[in-house]
């Protein structure tokens, strides 16, 4: 996941006189929450076959994996608009509370229907949490630095989820899930407490509004929520058709769809030659590589098109190696994804620096992670894992021929 400005808070800033709050707990409260939320979301990956009841059906494992991303994909935009209406802190608390409760159902139930629905609702919690979190950070004076720190902890949570799930599997398949669920409840209490109130600055004698060109739906504040969502969708379609945003969205979906397909099915594929700790270590390497490569790619003087192409080549190389060298494969996939996303964000910013454009881009990430594994699962039965993995690499490499201006 990679943060972008929320479309309804772009440009909002508060001076020191307008922020009357202690600074001690603000960042730790938000950062610890995203760490627990992302750790819980990824703790299921190394134990997907066991959660699916060792049924041998890759479709069940895929649905449990993708349910989370589908829940997020369907709710990011509407819950982002709702957060603007009812307040970011309320939506943040709702997202964390929903995450904690769904985590407890995943931790203590073996019913496949409950697991699938819980994963979907966990994704809804993600859809509620992230727009509100980005909005809150955008209001801080050090928002750029804070977004970097937030993204680092986000990826650290993803890495910790798969790593500890693999390492702790020997004590119980759901040990890591239970641990991160406990953390989610703990930090949910922190958000509800006075520490949570520190996240949102007090506004003194001034109502803050956004420039008209940054937020076209804000002028329709008094109109129904569904009307705002419809207006947002109409503007999305127009942007996709008239700019390079459609190409960027397509590349993003294929990139994260291909890597998500590998991640979702690797527990089943590697069951005969990787232990759970080894699997957790391999997958966590992709997130660690993404953290490092994002920092490096953001500091090199190379145009965005070449950065995107380099990332695609690295990610494709990782997919090719996944059939033989899992640790190196996931490291390369993470490096490629972390590199490409920097170039893609730069390409989006040339079209529009608004949070609206970044929101479309982030939706593409979830679309790839949610739909890629589901689409790929239809081919696993007739062709087998290795053929589908290699085929996804060739499809990803085809995006090198897409020309971005």
> In the chain, what are the domain boundaries?
1-6+24-201, 228-405
pLDDT (0 to 100) of residue 326: 93
CB atoms inside a 10 Å sphere around CB 11 = 15
Mean pLDDT taken over the chain: 80
Residue 10 has pLDDT above 50, yes or no: no
| pLDDT tens per residue across span 246-280 | 889 899 999 999 999 999 899 889 988 888 888 88
Q: Residue 19 and residue 142: Cα distance in Å, rounded? A: 13
pLDDT (0 to 100) of residue 215: 46
pLDDT (0 to 100) of residue 30: 87
Residue 202 has pLDDT above 70, yes or no: no
Architecture of the domain made up of 1-6+24-201: Up-down Bundle (1.20)
Residue 145 has pLDDT above 80, yes or no: no
Using 50, 70 and 90 to split pLDDT, how confident is the model at 314? very high
The top-scoring range by mean pLDDT among 82-91, 125-134, 257-266 is: 257-266
Q: Which CATH number fits the domain 228-405, given the four candidates 3.40.50.2020, 3.40.50.300, 2.60.40.1180, 1.20.1250.20?
A: 1.20.1250.20
The yes-or-no answer to whether 1-6+24-201 and 228-405 have a common fold is yes
Give the residue with greater pLDDT, 291 vs 107.
Answer: 107
Give the residue with greater pLDDT, 383 vs 233.
Answer: 383
For residue 199, report the phi and psi dihedrals to the nearest 5 degrees: -65, -35
Using 50, 70 and 90 to split pLDDT, how confident is the model at 359? low
For residues 297-321, average pLDDT: 88
For residues 98-109, average pLDDT: 94
């Amino acid at each position: 996941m990679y943060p972008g400005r929320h479309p309804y808070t772009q440009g909002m800033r508060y001076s020191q006189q307008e922020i009357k709050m202690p600074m001690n707990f603000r960042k730790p409260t938000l950062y610890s929450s995203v760490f627990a939320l992302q750790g819980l979301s990824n703790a299921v990956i190394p134990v997907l076959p066991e959660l699916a009841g060792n049924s041998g059906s890759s479709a069940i494992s895929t649905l449990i994996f993708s349910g989370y991303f589908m829940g997020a994909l369907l709710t990011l935009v509407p819950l982002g608009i709702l957060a603007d209406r009812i307040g970011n802190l309320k939506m943040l608390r709702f997202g964390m509370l929903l995450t904690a409760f769904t985590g407890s159902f995943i931790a203590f139930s073996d019913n496949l229907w409950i697991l699938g629905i819980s994963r979907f609702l966990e994704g809804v919690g993600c859809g509620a949490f992230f727009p509100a979190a980005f909005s809150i950070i955008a209001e801080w004076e050090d928002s750029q630095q804070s977004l970097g720190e937030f993204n680092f902890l986000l990826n650290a949570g993803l890495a910790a989820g798969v790593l500890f799930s693999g390492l702790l599997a020997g004590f119980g398949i759901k040990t890591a899930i239970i641990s991160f669920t406990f953390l989610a409840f703990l930090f949910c209490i922190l958000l509800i407490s006075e520490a949570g109130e520190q996240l949102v600055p007090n506004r003194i004698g001034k109502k803050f509004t956004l420039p008209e060109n940054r937020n076209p739906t804000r002028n329709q504040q008094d109109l129904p929520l569904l009307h705002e969502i419809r207006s947002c969708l109409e503007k999305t379609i127009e942007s996709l058709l008239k700019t390079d945003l459609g190409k960027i969205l397509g590349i993003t979906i294929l990139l994260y769809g291909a890597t998500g397909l590998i991640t979702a099915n690797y527990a089943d594929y590697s069951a005969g030659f990787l232990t759970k700790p080894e699997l957790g270590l391999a997958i966590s390497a992709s997130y660690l590589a993404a953290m490092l490569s994002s920092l490096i790619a953001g500091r090199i003087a190379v145009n965005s098109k070449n950065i995107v192409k380099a990332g695609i080549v690295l990610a494709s190389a990782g997919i090719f190696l996944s059939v033989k060298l899992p640790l190196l494969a996931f490291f390369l996939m993470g490096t490629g994804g972390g590199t490409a996303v920097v170039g893609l964000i730069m390409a989006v910013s040339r079209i529009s620096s608004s949070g609206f454009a970044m929101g479309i881009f982030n939706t593409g990430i979830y679309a790839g992670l949610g739909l890629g594994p589901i689409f790929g699962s239809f081919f696993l039965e007739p062709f087998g894992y290795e053929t589908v993995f290699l085929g996804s690499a060739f499809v990803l490499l085809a995006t090198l021929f897409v020309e971005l201006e």
